[in-house]
Amino acid sequence: MKKFVPVLLFMSVLFTLFAGVGQAASAAVVPKLYLNDQLLKPTVDPQIVQKGYTIVPIRLVSESIGYKVTWMEESQTVIIHSETDEIILKINDSIALVNNEKVQMDTPAVVLKGNTLIPLRFIGDNLGIKVVWNNDSKSVYLYKDDKPVDPTDPSTPPTDPPPGTTGKLTSVLYDGMNGIVVNYEGTATAKTPFKLDNPKRIVIDFPNVGYSDELAAQFSGAEGKIPVTGHATLTQIRYSVFSNSPTTARIVLDLSADAGVELTPGTNELRISMTDGTTTTPTDPTTPTDPTTPVDPNPPTNKVYNVVIDAGHGGTDPGAKSILTGKWEKEFNLALSLKVKALLDKEKNIKPLLSRPDDNFVTLANRVTFAKTNKADLFLSIHANSNPKSDVTGSETYYYREDSKAFANVIHKHFAKGTGLKDRGVKKESFHVIRETTMPAVLLEAGFLSNLSDSNTLFSDAAQTKMAQAIVAGIKEYLKLS
């Protein structure tokens, strides 16, 4: 069985610790927990249940280190996704699914004060987290990677930065208008920001950077939070420790709608200014600035191009929900993908390949691997959009690498016309499947399921046929087959 994710590493080790001291300690004693030298303050404390088994809140550290936890109210099910793994736990059921394998748990997951708490032993093998435990102070020090030195005073977290750390963030402030000011000591250089969806957010990482004691003291649980009101798109600012090898500080900007950022460095200060959604992030210096011709302009007549059609989401990851029909994005994505494949099957010079041919969960990493393994010439991912504002409408096309821009322009020219919806243009974003693939790759957002008119169009069989025809026309033009 695969190793899962750091959040599960964290919880599996806690089981061993709590089970070992549970018989001698009072049930009222709750140990202090530190993750990567940061004190954790869970809203619901870990619980020691029947026969000394321990359960802990699933969201305790998961979202602060970049993993997705989904709660399905109707089925009372918790789903945990990373890019490579999936765990499914049903409330009051002692059988869990780990990467589609059934695993017997010692005690089922439960809900307490609106929080889901999960058992630990079933994920306890070969997990590799390093721990320092002090029984006198009932403190647990958890380190994701580097082996720590036993703290001389376990009642407080170590204050010295890990080896290799070049600086510390000393404050993260919202200026009340349109910017975030990050102050630091030492050296702190931000990596190129990238965007994530469902929910929309912008992520900015600072490698080799930690936090000052004063700023870390403001953490609630595993992260600090700054609520934002009155801004057009920014709803909250979060900051946490993303990694301990190397130490990496992460700032996450939660959004209500698409937006961009501009970074302006100063003396021991970085200003993050919000921009509209069309703003692109700085080009990676390793990325070619001039797009190369991705396909042979005069291909031989017997050339067969492998084209991956990627239906977004699937299985336990349903995507956005239609405001009109209650159907899920995954249904639209698959339906349109199958129509595109059916049309491409008729083309002698194109071999269509489906990364998700049915309603199953496929990780982002596996979608990328599928395209690389099949030596795809093109990669096209199909999605539908959503927005808190129900009047937002239209279709848009995304690319990331410069060698995908020409493909995006050609596809969008046909696709936007084929949907019949508002043309929202071609945009550059750091979506995993178009960032990590090596062939020209685009991601289509057909329309907004949060909009009544868009949703009606997307789930129309006739409209889907027109969209499929438009996609095929774009692929053929790009490959110079039309």
Catalytic pick from 63, 223, 429, 445? 445
CB 238 within 8 A of CB 254: yes
Half-sphere exposure of 282 (CA within 13 A, CB side): 11
Q: Parallel, antiparallel, or unpaired: how do β-strands 179-186 and 167-174 relate?
A: antiparallel
Of 188, 202, 271, 206, nearest to 242 (Cα)? Answer: 206
Q: What are the backbone angles phi and psi of residue 413, rounded to the nearest 5°?
A: -55, -45
Compute the half-sphere exposure of residue 181: CA atoms within 13 Å on the CB side of its CA. 10
- What are 307's two structure tokens? 């084209």
What Å distances lie between residue 15 and 52, 59, 61, 91, CA to CA? Answer: 9, 16, 16, 19
Q: Are 410 and 265 in contact (CB under 8 A)?
A: no
Give CA–CA dist 17/250, Å, rounded. Answer: 29
Q: Is 445 a catalytic residue?
A: yes
How far apart (Å, rounded) are the C-alpha atoms in residues 241 and 210? 7
Which string of DSSP letters, residue by residue, matches 215-243?
HHTT-BTTEEEEE--S-SSEEEEEEEEEE
Question: Token pair 């390949």 is at which residue?
Answer: 353
Q: CA separation (Å) from 413 to 124, 290, 379, 470, 474?
A: 51, 21, 17, 9, 8
Q: Spell out the residues 6+ positions from residue 276 whose beta carbon is closer than 8 angstroms to its own.
A: 259, 260
Other C-beta atoms closer than 10 Å to the C-beta of 142 total 26
Cβ atoms within 10 Å, residue 16: 16
Sign of CA dihedral 418, 423, 426, 429: negative
Do residues 286 and 204 make contact, with C-beta atoms less than 8 angstroms apart?
Answer: no
Cα–Cα dist 187/167, whole Å = 5
Axis crossing angle, helix 329-344 with helix 461-478, rounded to the nearest 10: 50
274 φ, ψ (degrees, to nearest 5): -75, 140
Q: What is the DSSP letter of 122?
A: G
Q: How far apart are CA 463 and CA 80, in angstroms?
A: 34
**Which positions are annotated as active-site residues?**
445
